[in-house]
Chain A
Amino acid sequence: MAQVERQQWDVVVVGAGGAGLRAAIEARERGARTAVICKSLFGKAHTVMAEGGIAASMANANPHDSWQIHFRDTMRGGKFLNQWRMAELHAREAPDRVWELETWGALFDRTADGRISQRNFGGHEYPRLAHVGDRTGLELIRTLQQKTVSLQQEDFRATGEYESRLKIFQECTVTRVLKDEAGRVSGVFCYERETGRFFVLDAPAVVLATGGIGKSFKVTSNSWEYTGDGHALALLAGAPLVNMEFVQFHPTGMVWPPSVKGILVTESVRGDGGVLRNSDGKRFMFDYVPDVFKEKYAQTEEEGDRWYEDPDNNRRPPELLPRDEVARAINSEVKAGRGSPHGGVFLDVSTRMPAEVIKRRLPSMYHQFKELADVDITAEAMEVGPTCHYVMGGVAVDSDTAATVGVPGLFAAGEVAGGMHGSNRLGGNSLSDLLVFGRRAGLHAAEYATGAGRPAMSPAAVDAAVAEALAPFAAAEAPASEGPAENPYTLHQELQRTMHDLVGIIRRAGEMSEALERIAELRERARRAGVEGHRQFNPGWHLALDLRNMLLVSECVALAALERTESRGGHTREDHPSMDRAWRSVNLLCRAVDDGVVLERTRTDPIRPDLLALFEKEELVKYLAEEELYE
């Protein structure tokens, strides 16, 4: 076996965003010695980019709110494909998870009576998002980071070492989850980005909390870290992914200048009163309210405008429809020739609020447009268009324990886990998801680790992982007869273009088949992705290794999207434009096999009757098949 350093831990958490840190805190508090591995510096995870808020039915801003209504909104947003037990746990536990943050030092914006303020957001019936201006994700990550440090301070007082029970391995990447002969998790194989040094962490329980997959798409709000690592690690360890066809395109990303295309413009802009207009100056969203939501949204601008002040007697404006609806509407307007000069539509707050209010409530947006686009949002409209933002699909998990299917000791939480959001996630439900299921994953991983002993590491698997990680250096020096070495940056750009053009916001069967062919070609070429230089902080090498993950995940997205012949949430088929009730109870699972990915159809669990009873019969018939209604 190759000589690599090994360390023993009880629980290893891969990823240090909201879900990963919440899992690590829980595992450590339950007594497990816990290691966290993250690709960036501690405190830089993608969670910092979340802007709008954390959804939780604390009922601070509207006393009528409750977990049942939050559950209902979540199911509607996901078009009833959600793993309903996750949606239930999420709605029930989110308030406790937010309140707990205050005891760790978080400072949310306040209501007049000193409680946590809550703001309106798309798809949420009541103002529900706890927030800090438009930098809520930063507050969340910093609070969890500081809680982590406070636990390390406790450990320092008890043991003389800060990292004796909870250690962050920052700027390290995991390339393989390792298993013993019985198929149980035994640890992870990693490299340190700074030095290129390989190491193995032995642990009976591993929590994947690696976030999403946006870097496979050309226009995205996601950072470089979002290369689908956890999705791929799970697949390669033998765990299936679910619902991968559902990718959320956030309706409002920046469209100009080109170098910032895709950067997020928070939904809070609309939640706080911003409106969408086309090049004719028309508030076009009134033309795009789908049947299932007809009774819930204002029919006139006057009613929509009154709702901000008097929500009990008016219906909300259609700018606050779930994200999938708004993104499709913007796409249609641009296609019909009614777009803005740079190919988006106009999002305007300047005529809706005084400049001072805009700067106070949307400080980062003001800053972002001023600095990056020379646009003063207090004086003129923003130009916005859809951007790849979030993947609803992910590792299939048990709702209560966050355990993956079929790989004992492997857990997943946060964006990398599937099921919770069904076919479309509501804004604000991501940060709460991270906290609720991050905690559950940490709890159950710690419990599992207690009774699991130390599954044996297979030396052959470690050798294989070393060889796999070194392959890009060999490719650069391979004889010319094996074909020229490929530039990993070029391969990445080609993949992004393929996914953007052929498996993007509006999908067609022919294009997705073509995408699968191109992905297969790229996979072949990626075997020859070569890098120069050495292993010390070498970004070309890092990208060459991440390509494996992006290609695998992209194949899952394209394959599942081709299979699902209906339109639902974050999956829109031009050739199958309507939602089909027969598909509601179908989950598509992806599994990795030797030469790619295979699909399997499974049926969703019937929704518990007391939860179904939260909806009107007339609404349920729009979603559920006849036999489901009378089961």
Chain B
Amino acid sequence: MSSYQAAFKVWRGDAGGGGLRDFQVEVNDGEVVLDIIHRLQATQAPDLAVRWNCKAGKCGSCSAEINGRPRLLCMTRMSVFDRAETITVTPLRAFPVVRDLVTDVSFNYAKAREVPAFVPPKGLAPGEYRMGQRDVERSQEFRKCIECFLCQDTCHVVRDHEENKTAFAGPRFLMRVAELDMHPLDAAQEAGIDRKRTAQEEHGLGYCNITKCCTEVCPEGIKITDNALIPLKERVVDRQYDPLVWLGNKIRRRPEA
């Protein structure tokens, strides 16, 4: 096993401000960036704040930016960097800093609440649901999401545009709308919820201009743009310009007796 000393710059500070601090720290074979942050805590900076949990790429807690790129600290191996390279670790830029590498991600929880939940179909008791594997697969891909919020962080609509946050749910929650819209048994329409219309009018789908930044940073490899956002945009367009759909909507929207 070979070890070496790596040069790290870690952002330290809080809402009031802060800056990059230099560290020299031991690195061993097979380690990931989170191991190094933990070593700093144990040996040089016991109060260095970092959010983490499973350390196995399954919970999406340890999101930060490494050399400016949004990544999971636990899934970024040290071996991808040159040994001479200085590694810079900073908090997610799109969210307000709490302390050190920890940011306030409450924006995401607020957006999650604005998407109406799955609507169970009337007349089907628990245990009576029948769905084909092929029909659930599309939504299943989106349910692989570990809510690391790296896509929310990297999306240029909000990354440097705080003013867009009210009108834009971000890739994660537009994908959630797509997931529900593609769920074979979601009965939203019967309940008077138009997921396509709300995607456009309430969750800001129109802001997305499909640059695929979200897809690039997704640690789960979900094709957010191609499989969720573009199809959702297409469905919205069909809905808006298809006269039959328009007519169907008018008829179906009549208040129930």
Contacts and interface: CB of A to CB of B under 8 A. Distances in A.
B247 interface: no
B146 A49 contact: no
Given A44-B60, A110-B136, A135-B58, A540 B46 contact: yes
A259 B93 CA distance: 28
Contacts of A96: 126-127
Interface string A90-104: 000001100110111
A536 B46 contact: no
A536 B104 CA distance: 13
A100 B126 contact: yes
Task: Give the residue among B57, B59, B131, B133 with the most A Cβ atoms within 10 A.
Answer: B59
25 contacts: A43-B147, A44-B53, A96-B127, A103-B126, A105-B183, A109-B133, A109-B136, A150-B117, A153-B113, A194-B99, A224-B53, A257-B31, A258-B28, A259-B28, A259-B31, A371-B57, A372-B75, A487-B46, A489-B46, A533-B47, A537-B100, A537-B102, A538-B46, A539-B50, A540-B47
A207 B144 CA distance: 30
Contacts of B98: 194, 536-537
Contacts of B243: none
Nearest to B121: A103
B113 A152 contact: yes
B166 interface: no
Contacts of A367: 57, 221
Contacts of A149: 112-113, 117
Contact of A538 (B49, B60, B127, B133): B49
A102 B126 contact: yes
B172 to A, nearest CB: 12
A483 interface: no
Nearest to B36: A259
Interface in A108-127: 109-110, 113-115, 117
Interface in B42-77: 42, 46-61, 75, 77
Given A138-B146, A263-B55, A531-B46, 9 more contacts: A40-B51, A41-B51, A99-B127, A162-B113, A260-B30, A264-B56, A490-B42, A533-B46, A539-B41
Contacts of A95: 127
Interface of B: 1, 14, 28-32, 35, 41-42, 46-61, 75, 77, 98-100, 102, 105, 109, 112-113, 116-118, 120, 126-127, 129-133, 136, 139-140, 143-147, 180, 183, 186, 221
A41 B133 CA distance: 32
Interface of A: 40-44, 46, 48-49, 58, 95-96, 99-100, 102-105, 107, 109-110, 113-115, 117, 132-133, 135, 137-139, 142, 146-147, 149-150, 152-153, 156, 162, 194, 223-225, 256-260, 263-264, 364, 367-368, 371-373, 487-490, 493, 531-534, 536-541
B58 A49 contact: yes
B47 A102 contact: no
A115 B136 CA distance: 12
Contacts of A115: 130
A532 B30 contact: no
Contacts of B126: 96, 99-100, 102-103
Contacts of A142: 143, 145
A257 B46 CA distance: 25
Contact of B59 (A49, A102, A263, A534): A49
Contacts of A534: 47
Task: Give the residue among A107, A150, A223, A536 with the most B Cβ atoms within 10 A.
Answer: A107
A536 B47 CA distance: 9
A153 B53 contact: no
Nearest to B220: A367
B35 A259 contact: yes
Nearest to A113: B130
Contact of A489 (B31, B42, B117, B183): B42
A372 B46 contact: no
Contacts of A531: 46-47
Nearest to A43: B147
A113 B120 CA distance: 20
A96 B128 CA distance: 11
Task: Give the residue among B14, B53, B146, B221 with the most A Cβ atoms within 10 A.
Answer: B53
Contacts of B105: 41
B54 A48 contact: yes
A225 B55 CA distance: 11
Contact of B132 (A114, A258, A263, A372): A114
Contacts of B117: 104-105, 146-147, 149-150, 153
B123 to A, nearest CB: 12
A620 to B, nearest CB: 33
A114 B58 contact: no
Task: Give the residue among A46, A117, A372, A488 with the most B Cβ atoms within 10 A.
Answer: A372
A72 B180 CA distance: 39
Contacts of A139: 143
Contact of A263 (B49, B56, B77, B180): B56
Nearest to B109: A42
Contacts of B46: 487-489, 531-533, 538-540
A263 B56 CA distance: 7
A372 B136 CA distance: 30
B203 to A, nearest CB: 15
A371 B74 CA distance: 10
A224 B58 contact: no
A170 to B, nearest CB: 8
Contacts of B118: 104-105, 146, 150
Given A539-B46, A540-B46, A107 B28 contact: no
B41 A48 contact: no
A198 B113 CA distance: 27
Nearest to A256: B30
A538 B109 CA distance: 23
A264 B59 CA distance: 14
A250 to B, nearest CB: 13
Contacts of A536: 14, 49, 98-99
B58 A48 contact: yes
Contacts of B60: 44
Contact of A102 (B109, B129, B143, B180): B129
Nearest to A101: B126
Nearest to B108: A41
A532 B48 CA distance: 11
A538 B45 CA distance: 10
A292 to B, nearest CB: 34
Contacts of A260: 30, 32, 55-56
A219 to B, nearest CB: 13
Contacts of A371: 57, 75, 77
A157 to B, nearest CB: 11
A109 B109 CA distance: 27
Contacts of B29: 257-258
A99 B140 CA distance: 17
A489 B144 contact: no
> What are the 10 closest A-B residue pairs judged by CB atoms, nearest first?
A257-B30, A105-B118, A150-B117, A533-B47, A114-B130, A540-B46, A99-B126, A537-B49, A489-B42, A99-B127
A466 to B, nearest CB: 20
A117 B140 CA distance: 14
A540 B127 CA distance: 48
B194 to A, nearest CB: 16
Nearest to B1: A258
